[in-house]
Amino acid sequence: MYDIINGDTSFQPESYFTLGELIDLLSDHPNRYVKFLETDLTVGDLCSWRGSYGIPSVTYENSSKGKLANTICAELAYALTQVHHGWKGGEYRYTRDEEFYVSEKGTSQEYKIVKAEIEDEMLVLYTKIVPY
């Protein structure tokens, strides 16, 4: 079982994705659409996580079709070259080696990506709630 974003199922993972692992996964499947498990949500932007500003967060956005992996990959790779601003100030840079949360922009939701599977030609990302 996994924690579906805004859902109610769960399981215990062994590890969590880093930004670099997500980028590498996306680059391995450039022409697949990406969605989070059992949702109409796909990967959005890289930003400061509201729970602790120095921690990166990947937002999610609505998309019944998903977003192409190569688009997300390019956006995340570019975002790693940028300075990000915390919600109450501060400037942060994030690296490929950092774990990250998946959270609606401006919130401190505590999802992390724990697994990815190809399902019906789509790259599906599985999440788990991981309290800070």
pLDDT by residue, tens only, the chain of 132 residues: 567 777 665 556 678 999 999 999 999 999 999 999 999 999 999 999 999 989 999 999 999 899 999 999 999 999 999 999 998 889 999 999 999 999 998 899 999 999 999 999 899 999 999 999
Would you state the pLDDT for residue 2? 65
Report how far Cα 49 is from the mean position of its chain's Cα atoms: 11
In whole angstroms, what is the distance from residue 14 CA to residue 102 CA?
Answer: 17
In whole angstroms, what is the distance from residue 21 CA to residue 49 CA?
Answer: 19
Using the CB atoms, write b or e for 49-79: b if 16+ within 10 Å.
bbbebebbbbbbeebeebbbbeebbebbbeb
Question: Pairing state of beta strands 122-129 and 111-119?
Answer: antiparallel
Would you state the pLDDT for residue 1? 56
Would you state the pLDDT for residue 88? 86
- Count of CB atoms situated within 10 Å of the CB of 132: 9
Would you state the pLDDT for residue 87? 84
Would you state the pLDDT for residue 10? 59
In whole angstroms, what is the distance from residue 40 CA to residue 115 CA?
Answer: 17
The residue to which tokens 């919130």 are assigned: 107
* 84: β partners: 92
Dihedral Cα 23, 25, 27, 32, nearest 10 deg: -120
